[in-house]
Amino acid sequence: MIKLNLFKGGKRHAVTFSYDDGAIFDERLVGIFNKYGIKATFHLNSGFLAKQNRSADFFSIYDGHEISCHGAEHASLSKIPLSNVVNEVLRDRVAWEKLTGAPVRGLSYPDGGYNEDVKNALKACGIAYARTARSTEFFSLPKDFLEWQPTCHHRNAPEIAKRFMNQFVADSYFSGLLLYIYGHSHDFDRENNWELIEDVCRTVAHHDDIWYATSIEIYDYVTAARRLVTSADGKIVHNPSCMSVWFTYDEKPYEIKGGETLTLS
């Protein structure tokens, strides 16, 4: 039987970071991520940041990472009319797509609030994934990417990142797990604890079995993996997407390219 338990490049696990609000302290945070080869997603409020007159140059700090939506004015989406939800999200998409020159399909819920109506509105707005603020303290992938629950806030990350590395990455029995840490860079300034995030990055960085990716990269890869089609006996597999997917069959790793059909033995 094939198991969807590998990430891009055949890596056994993935790590991502997700930061909200676009505080000026993001610049220092991105510098730390870049130093350790870590990828992150930054959820930014276009209306709020426009009032701060940030220069276009400021946003170049995010090069190599993902810019994503967080609601133009940071309104809690479960507490405003649905038409305003649409406006909050589409204003962000328009702003960040103009800046990046690419479709922007992610969001984190401002204040963590959402409900079924909000999720349906996001779908209509072309949002593919939305991060909640409910920590699982575990490393699973979501069933529903519009309720993507992170592993933990960074304040709990030092201990959880060590558990991830020592228990799950170190043991080859485990695969297909994601460490997903979220927070706000202004917390580090306010609490004067920049060494915390530096320690977490040092713990997880530069490991051959880890894919360091942004949220949308993980969404796109996992969605492609879940679209693999197999024959009734499980020995023929077809990849209808345009990107390579890695999986194991009888514990052996395989890559199947986009559009390819493999017969396994």
Q: Measured from the CB atom, is 106 or 110 closer to Zn ion? A: 110
Q: Which of 20, 88, 92, 220 binds Zn ion (CB under 5 A)?
A: 20
> Residue type at 151?
T
Instruction: Please check whether residue 14 is in contact with residue 214, taking contact to mean a CB–CB distance below 8 angstroms.
Output: no
Range in contact with Zn ion (rule: CB under 5 A) among 26-34, 110-118, 131-139, 197-205: 110-118
Q: Which of 7, 21, 104, 182 binds Zn ion (CB under 5 A)?
A: 21
Least distance to Zn ion from the beta carbon of 20, Å?
Answer: 4
With b for 16 or more beta-carbon neighbours within 10 A and e for fewer, the 161-197 pattern comes to beebbeebbeeeeebbbbbbbbbbbbbbeeeeeeebb
What does 175-204 look like in DSSP terms, one character per residue?
-SEEEEEEE-HHHHHHHT-HHHHHHHHHHH
Range in contact with Zn ion (rule: CB under 5 A) among 103-111, 145-153, 219-227, 241-249: 103-111
Rounded Cα gap, residues 8 and 6, in angstroms: 7
Least distance to Zn ion from the beta carbon of 71, Å?
Answer: 8
Range in contact with Zn ion (rule: CB under 5 A) among 52-60, 108-116, 190-198, 215-223: 108-116
220 binds Zn ion (CB under 5 A): no
Q: Measured from the CB atom, is 20 or 217 closer to Zn ion? A: 20
How many Cα neighbours within 13 Å face the side chain of 129?
23
Q: Measured from the CB atom, is 110 or 142 closer to Zn ion? A: 110
Instruction: Please check whether residue 230 is in contact with residue 2, taking contact to mean a CB–CB distance below 8 angstroms.
Output: yes
Give the interface size with Zn ion as a residue count (CB under 5 A).
3
Q: Measured from the CB atom, is 176 or 183 closer to Zn ion? A: 183
**Residues paired with 17 in a beta bridge:** 40, 181
Range in contact with Zn ion (rule: CB under 5 A) among 6-14, 18-26, 147-155, 242-250: 18-26
Task: Tell me, rounded to whole angstroms, the distance of Cα 131 from its chain centroid.
Answer: 8
Q: For binding to Zn ion (CB under 5 A), which residues are involved? A: 20-21, 110
